[in-house]
Homo-oligomer: A and B are copies of this chain.
Amino acid sequence: MSKRTAVYRKEHFNAAHRLHNPAWDDATNQRVFGKCNNPHYHGHNYELVVRLTGTPDPETGFVYDLKVLSDLVREKVTERLDHKNLNLDLPEFRELNPTAENIARVIYEILRPEIEPALDLQVRLYETERNFVDYPVA
């Protein structure tokens, strides 16, 4: 019998952002966030990897149909974030600093209700090839 298996689907989006805490003055924001605080924004090619963990269905051999997962992630996540300014265009980041950690959590919270509870969900977000995060981690 099959043990638990994780399946992964990788998607991407391109977005502008700036790191900024509106509760702080400009000098503090500049000191903490450096060039990431540029008021005119900068941007990234984000790579998003969604992981679902469960047991394959014996009839299909799928933990989750990755074509369906791709369509779900595109509809709920990447169509909302792609070619957007995260600070200005996404209500989730009105009050929340769009660090990779916080973007990953927002994406997790969008997807969690869409996936059946029996499957564990984890999000990996690459801000660059060299900076990335996982959410949540046990």
| Min CB gap A118→B, angstroms | 14
- In chain A, positions 113-138 with a C-beta closer than 8 Å to chain B are 128-138
Which residues of chain B come closer than 8 Å to A53, judged between CB atoms?
137
Known pairs A6-B137, A23-B59, A45-B128 / 13 extra A-B pairs, C-beta < 8 Å: A6-B135, A14-B44, A14-B128, A21-B61, A35-B83, A40-B89, A41-B41, A41-B85, A42-B43, A42-B82, A42-B84, A61-B102, A66-B131
- In chain A, positions 1-39 with a C-beta closer than 8 Å to chain B are 2-12, 14-17, 19, 21, 23-24, 32, 34-36, 38
CB-nearest residue of chain B relative to A42? B83
A8, A45, A62: which has the most chain B beta carbons within 10 Å? Answer: A45
User: How many residues from A make CB contacts under 8 Å with B?
Assistant: 67
- The secondary structure that dominates the A interface is mixed
Interface residues of A (CB under 8 A from B): 2-12, 14-17, 19, 21, 23-24, 32, 34-36, 38, 40-45, 53, 56, 59-63, 65-67, 70, 82-85, 88-89, 96-102, 104-105, 128-138
CB-nearest residue of chain B relative to A89? B40
| Min CB gap A85→B, angstroms | 4
